[in-house]
Amino acid sequence: MRVGVLSLQGAFREHLGVLGSLGVDACKVTRPKHLDGIDSIILPGGESSAMVRIAATTGLFPALGERIGAGLPVFGTCAGLILLADRLTDESLDGFDRLGGLDVTVARNAYGRQRDSFSAPVQVTGLDSEFDATFIRAPRIVDLGARVEVLASFAELPVLVRQGNIWGGSFHPELGADTRIHEEFLHSLGAAV
């Protein structure tokens, strides 16, 4: 199993570090040709408006969106969730290619500004104790379709969701030493980690 990590901007190194610590073969994805040979992909947090601008010159997002539509498993965290959301509440990314595929509506920056960043324990389906989730200018999932399963909530709102092989989270699961959410995603794909 080879896992790609979208590496245009943001916290891609941290995801690569987690995958490396789990002994998973991981590679950076910045261009369409890097999609060849990957079996799943992680979209990191960072700044979605920067990511869509960087990707606009390469055709990466149309190619990746097609792979996701054809079943490529994907886990989008924070800005990555924004890329995957079928709907955004604001127009700031209109006119740029995103990915879509996850039947949710997302409000960007709805958990506050950088200085409002916080961590909170959340109960995640499948984990036997709470996960310390870090929220940084995090997107809020304000609506979800019937096919979307909620794996974790915070303050009665979903913060980790799954629609088949498409996973999305508001927080940063790659910060800190707790690798259990990555493991859950990889286990769901049949990886032995």
Alpha-carbon distance of 58 to 128, in angstroms, equals 42
15 makes contact with ligand GLN (CB under 6 A): no
- 165 in Cβ contact with 128 (< 8 Å): no
CB-nearer residue toward ligand GLN: 19 or 82? 82
- Of 78, 149, 183, 187, which is the active-site residue? 78
- Does residue 27 carry a catalytic annotation? no
DSSP per-residue codes, 36-74 = TT-SEEEE--S-HHHHHHHHTTTTHHHHHHHHHHTT--E
Which of 6, 7, 9, 46 contacts ligand GLN by CB under 6 A?
Answer: 46
Which residues in 154-183 contact ligand GLN (CB under 6 A)?
none
- Does residue 34 carry a catalytic annotation? no
Which of 52, 72, 84, 136 contacts ligand GLN by CB under 6 A?
Answer: 136
Least Cα distance to 22 among 1, 38, 39 occurs for: 1
Please give the residue ranges that form the binding site for ligand GLN (CB under 6 A): 45-48, 78-79, 82, 108-109, 136-138
